[in-house]
Amino acid sequence: NAMFSWQRTAYHFQPQKNWMNDPDGPLYHMGWYHLFYQYNPDSAVWGNITWGHAVSRDLIHWLYLPFAMVPDQWYDINGVWTGSATILPDGKIVMLYTGDTVDAVQVQNLAYPANLSDPLLLDWVKYPDNPVLIPPIGIAIDEYRDPTTAWLGPDGKWRVTIGSKVNGAGVSLVYKTTNFTTYELLENYLHEVPGTGMWECVDFYPVAINGSTGLDTSVNGPGIKHLLKASLDDTKVDVYALGTYFVNNDTWVPDNPAEDVGLGLKYDYGRYYASKTFYDPKFERRVLWGWINETDTEYEDLAKGWASLQTIPRTVLFDNKTGTNILQWPVEEVESLRLNSTDFEGVVVKPGSVVELNIGTATQLDIFADFEIESLGLEETNEANGGCRGGAVDRSRLGPFGLLVIADETLSELTPIYFRPTNTSDGGLQTYFCADERRSSKANDVFNQVYGSQVPVLDDEKFSMRLLVDHSIVESFAQGGRTVITSRVYPTEAIYGAARLFLFNNATGVNVKATLKIWQLNSAFIHPFPLDQIDTVKP
């Protein structure tokens, strides 16, 4: 189906057709990265949920494999839902996933590879005595899903946590197990936050306070914080907080209770949900996958024959400069797609102006942009409210300024990605990082709004952003990945060779000086695995 074919991306993971949602059970095995994903084999809307499966050598080029698991048992006949992989010390792989039963009860099931020496892990065995867990007393049968990767405690027992809801509070239950077939439910929740609703796709992992490598899920000790993430079913956002994991009673406490899970930070302020990390032993990093969902109508998704994408995988590190957030950054391998680059040095953008960056077609880009502001010495005026909501046209003394991406020559379609600093009463700056999608498409039935949040900009830092542009997706990273916004846009004019890139400055009181390096990016190779060549697969 060629309808809206220009919205297909060139280097983001998406199936050839039909519906996809959450990433599932990502893992590294014998030289291959494996991605499983919630998939509807029959349609571009959610249903018949099956585990799609793809493999990659480098997290960028992908080969689709046959489905890993299909809904064919009483305990998952309504869907093989989200789950996570645990690699045991002896190399065995344990997959725990939620099944929606014939009676629409959410249960947890165990599966494992039929042949661990197969680098492609083509065949999966569902444990014959599934389910291994059913909703405990006090937990609704439809609010009990998405088991995490397990971690090993000092008592030699594994822990798994599973999100739920109790009296309107988001909670995460903890189970202990030694064999992954029988479990003991702990009395305490790992954590609970009143008013946050059902927690889907909980993720829980350690981050090093000082260090440039990621940590395997069971690592614990001094110099480590733990990150707790939940996907809020009510508002469809991925929220997290950093804190301390107390292994003696398997509870977690946030560093800052005012910024607890769901009250503070989001992984991504754009279209992003149901994310999951895994530990990559090859490069000692923690890698984050996230689902980019659609904002057009189901009718259009059916017409175009597909829905949703996955982000470029991101490494996750603790930000030891701020001490309050993580840094997300596209995996280095995306740089292998770089073609020619163009540099722009100190481009001055005056208040109220737009400057085109002549780089040719602007559909597949890796953009690094630094901005400095030069005061025009004007009187301090009453500052507008800080924040993003007024969009790229909401002018104030110091901003907004940034880039117009996926724009056409006449600016009839454009997506501004920008900074909006404002003076604070104590003489400092408070900066927001935003994406304004409201003019991103002439189509009138797509939902678009202004996204964004505050971003810490430290005293010695310029305003800096990195953008990955891919036809209908923009992943935007501010200040090295402190604040991230994914945009899913639906251009009708700014497509293929008509897509352009501009700088803009809508501040009233400052010139902006921009320095950029912009690479054209190649397309990734994302195709079915040639199964007749399966014998050529070597670890």
Q: Which residues have a catalytic role annotated?
A: 22
Mask of contacts with ligand FRU, 66-105, x by CB under 6 A?
Answer: ---------------xx---------------x-------
Q: Does 200 bind ligand FRU (CB under 6 A)?
A: yes
> Judging by DSSP bridges, how do beta strands 144-145 and 463-470 pair with one another?
unpaired
For residue 481, the one-letter residue type is G
Between residues 274 and 503, which has the closer beta carbon with respect to ligand FRU? 274
80-87: strand order across its sheet: 80-87, 93-100, 106-113, 124-126
Q: How far is the CB of 128 from ligand FRU (least distance, A)?
A: 22
Q: Does 111 bind ligand FRU (CB under 6 A)?
A: no
**Among 14, 38, 505, 520, which residue interacts with ligand FRU (rule: CB under 6 A)?**
38
HEC states along 3-32?
Answer: CCHHHCCCCCCCCCCEEEEEEEEEEEECCE
What tokens does 416 get?
Answer: 């501004």
Residue 68 CA to residue 53 CA, distance in Å, equals 6
Q: How far is the CB of 455 from ligand FRU (least distance, A)?
A: 27
> Judging by DSSP bridges, how do beta strands 224-232 and 265-266 pair with one another?
unpaired
**Residue 145 in contact with residue 107, Cβ under 8 Å?**
no
Beta bridge partners of 95: 85, 111
Between residues 48 and 430, which has the closer beta carbon with respect to ligand FRU? 48
**Among 15, 20, 22, 325, which residue interacts with ligand FRU (rule: CB under 6 A)?**
22
Residues 410-469 that bind ligand FRU (CB under 6 A): none
**Among 76, 146, 203, 436, which residue interacts with ligand FRU (rule: CB under 6 A)?**
146
Residue 524 CA to residue 9 CA, distance in Å, equals 9
Q: Does 49 bind ligand FRU (CB under 6 A)?
A: yes
Residue 495 CA to residue 481 CA, distance in Å, equals 27
Beta bridge partners of 144: 164
Tell me the CA distances in angstroms from 134 to 77, 82, 154, 184, 185, one per residue in order.
15, 15, 26, 12, 11
Between residues 177 and 275, which has the closer beta carbon with respect to ligand FRU? 275
Between residues 110 and 388, which has the closer beta carbon with respect to ligand FRU? 110
What tokens does 133 get?
Answer: 């867990």
Q: How far is the CB of 124 from ligand FRU (least distance, A)?
A: 17
Between residues 108 and 441, which has the closer beta carbon with respect to ligand FRU? 108
Q: Does 145 bind ligand FRU (CB under 6 A)?
A: yes
**Among 274, 327, 405, 521, which residue interacts with ligand FRU (rule: CB under 6 A)?**
274
Q: How far is the CB of 97 from ligand FRU (least distance, A)?
A: 8
For residue 135, the one-letter residue type is P
Between residues 161 and 431, which has the closer beta carbon with respect to ligand FRU? 161
Write out the residues near ligand FRU by the rule CB under 6 A.
Answer: 21-22, 38, 49, 81-82, 98, 145-146, 200-201, 274
